[in-house]
Amino acid sequence: MELSITTAAIATIISAATSATVTLYINRSNRMKYLDDQLDSLLKIALQYPYLENPDFIKTWNENKTSGKDEYLRYDLYCTLLFNFLARLSSHYKYNRKKIDNYVAAKDWIRLHKEYWLNPVNTFENVDSYDKQFKQLITDYLS
C-alpha cells in the first residue's frame, strides 16, 4: 500500500510539473503573439500613413504638436502606441537590450522619435507614464 501511495504521489508531482511547464510555454507563446500583433499593427499604421515614419515630418513635431492638425494628433497617438509597445517588449525581455534588439530595431525607432519622447504634448506625460527601468532604457538608447 505504501508503494502505491508513493507511486501516486510521484505521478501527481510529474503531472503537475508537466502541466506547469506546458502552461508556462503557452503563456510565453501568447505573450509573444500579443507583441507580434502589436508590432504588426504599428507597421500597418505606418504603411497607411507613411509620414509617421518620415524624418522630415518628425522634425516638425515640436513646433506643431499643439496645432490640432490631424497629422500631428495622429503622430501623437502613433508614438504613444509605439512607446507603449516598446515598454511591454522591454518588460517581456526584462530590459535586456540584446534580446530587444534581436526582436526589433528599437534603437533606430527610439532615435527617430526622440523629439516626441523629449517633447510630449503634456510636459510630464512620458516621465509619469512609464516605469523607471524603461525610462532608463530609453535614455541609454538616446545616448
Per-residue model confidence as pLDDT tens for the chain (143 residues): 566 767 766 666 766 666 656 555 556 657 889 999 999 999 999 999 999 999 999 999 999 999 999 999 999 999 999 999 999 999 999 999 999 999 999 999 999 999 999 999 998 888 899 999 999 999 999 99
User: On the CB side of 117, how many CA atoms lie within 13 Å of its CA?
Assistant: 21
Confidence (pLDDT) at 127? 84
For residue 28, the one-letter residue type is R
Confidence (pLDDT) at 24? 58
CA–CA gap between residue 79 and residue 7 (Å, rounded)? 57
Backbone angles phi, psi at 49, to 5 degrees: -130, 75
What is the CB neighbour count within 10 angstroms for residue 82? 23
Predicted TM-score (pTM) of the model is 0.81
Burial 49-81 (b: 16+ CB within 10 A, else e): beebbeeebbebbeeebeeeeeebeebbebbbe
Confidence (pLDDT) at 26? 59
Residue the block writes with cell 522619435: 113
Contacts of 79 (CB under 8 A, 6+ apart): 113, 116, 117
Confidence (pLDDT) at 31? 81
Confidence (pLDDT) at 11? 63
CA–CA gap between residue 61 and residue 17 (Å, rounded)? 53
Alpha helices in the chain (DSSP H): 2-48, 55-58, 61-64, 70-92, 97-103, 106-112, 114-118, 125-129, 132-142
DSSP state of 25: H
